[in-house]
Amino acid sequence: MTIRYIFWTILGAVTLCVTAQAQDRIYRCGNEYTNNVTPAQAKGCKLVEGGNVTVVQGMRPKAAAPKTVDSPGAAVNPGARVATAEQKSRDSDARLILQSELTKAEARQAELLKEYSNGAPEKRGDEVRNHQKYLDRVAELKASLARNESDMAGIRRELERVPASSTAAR
């Protein structure tokens, strides 16, 4: 046997394998694919060109079971309206949380203002020889003050949106 004979035998075998795997013409009919020419032409399907098509059959999701209500105050639909008393309670809780956040932000602002000292904070030990480090800290304090002021303004806006309710009952 010569090398040419072995080469042509292997090449022939590979060619046979490739042609055996080649697909016929594939037609697309909406979301369906077929290789049956007669029904495809009868339905007016389009020929798919440029590569092989692989279709994987998927499972359709099952319909979700309806939710049941265990407690009398629970809502079935999360977007549904809630009872007036429950909504007042939620509004009251939201107002208390926002007021406590505003108090914390105001306390933080007072600390930052004290440390900032009108743009001339006291130098720390490591900043005595390194003036750039001092300038960086001053800039950081100034940015923190602006950020905290912005946070307080946002909390105040949120407080204006929450309906006023009697918080004395708590």
119-141 confidence digits (pLDDT tens): 888 988 888 899 999 999 999 99
State which residues form the domain around 32.
24-53
C-alpha to C-alpha distance for 99 and 107, rounded to whole angstroms: 12
Give me the helices (H) in 30-130, please.
37-43, 84-116
C-alpha to C-alpha distance for 143 and 152, rounded to whole angstroms: 14
Q: Are residues 90 and 143 in the same domain?
A: yes
Query: Is 0.75 surpassed by the pTM of this model?
Result: no
Mapped onto helix, strand or coil, the DSSP state of residue 79 is: coil
Q: Are residues 49 and 97 in the same domain?
A: no
pLDDT band at 39 (very low <50, low <70, confident <90, very high): confident
Residue the block writes with tokens 């079971």: 65
Judge whether 8 lies within some domain.
no
pLDDT at 67: 60
Residue-averaged pLDDT of the chain: 80
First and final CA of the chain: distance in angstroms? Answer: 100
Number of domains in the chain: 2
